[in-house]
Amino acid sequence: MDSQDVKEDLKHVLFTKEEIQEKIAELAAQVDKDYEDREVLLVGVLKGAVMVMADLSRALHAHYTMDWMAVSSYGSGTKSSGVVRILKDLDTDLHGRDVLIVEDIIDSGLTLSWLKSNLESRGANSVEICALLRKPASVKTEVPVKYVGWDIDPEFVVGYGLDFAEQYRNLDCIGTLAPHVYS
C-alpha cells in the first residue's frame, strides 16, 4: 500500500519508500562493518519491527541468524502499565552470543531498556540496538542505541510496520497520522 491509498488519513509523509531503503542500506553497511567476522543474532521485536528486520537482513552481506520476541508493557489501555510481559520468547540460547535488537521505533525507552537488560542477563556476549526511528523528546529512560536511522518529533507515525489499531503496517512509507483518524 502506498501513501495515495490512504492520503486522507495522513497529515504528511515523513520518509518515502526510497528514503527508507537508502537508510536501511546505510544501517546494514555499518552493522556489517562493526560485526565483521562475528556471528550475530538479530532479534526482531514483534510486530512493528517486521519490515525493518526483513529489509535490514536482506541488505546485510554476511550470514546472520534471526529470532523474534514479542513484549508488551501495556495492559488493556493506552498507557504503560510499567510491567513488561514476554508474549513470545526467543527460541535461541543467547549464552556467548552477540545480539542486535532490531526495532522500528523508540518512544519512552522503558520497554527497550528492560529488554536489553533481560537479554544481557541470559549470558549474551553483547547486546546492541538498531532502531529505524527514535523520538528523543519522548525518552523517559536513556537507552544506548548503536544504530539509529532518524530522530523524529513526538508525532504519531504509521507505516513500514508502525500501526494504529493494527492498520497501516503495510504502508510502504512512514507518515504522520491525521488527527481525525485517532480522535
Segment 115-130, tens digit of pLDDT: 999 999 999 999 999 9
pLDDT tens-digit profile of 61-117? 999 999 999 998 765 444 455 678 899 999 999 999 999 999 999 998 999 999 999
- Is residue 63 one of the residues assigned to a domain? yes
Catalytic residue among 107, 151, 163, 172: 107
Cα–Cα dist 140/122, whole Å: 25
Question: Is residue 8 one of the residues assigned to a domain?
Answer: no
What pLDDT is stored for residue 81 in this prediction?
55
Has residue 162 been placed in a domain?
no
* Structural domain for 149, as ranges: 19-73+81-154
Confirm whether 105 is domain-assigned. yes
Number of domains in the chain: 1
Q: What is the CATH number of the domain that holds 108?
A: 3.40.50.2020
pTM: 0.93
The reply to whether 68 falls in a domain is yes
107 is catalytic: yes
Nearest residue to 99 (alpha-carbon basis) of 84, 78, 75, 119: 119
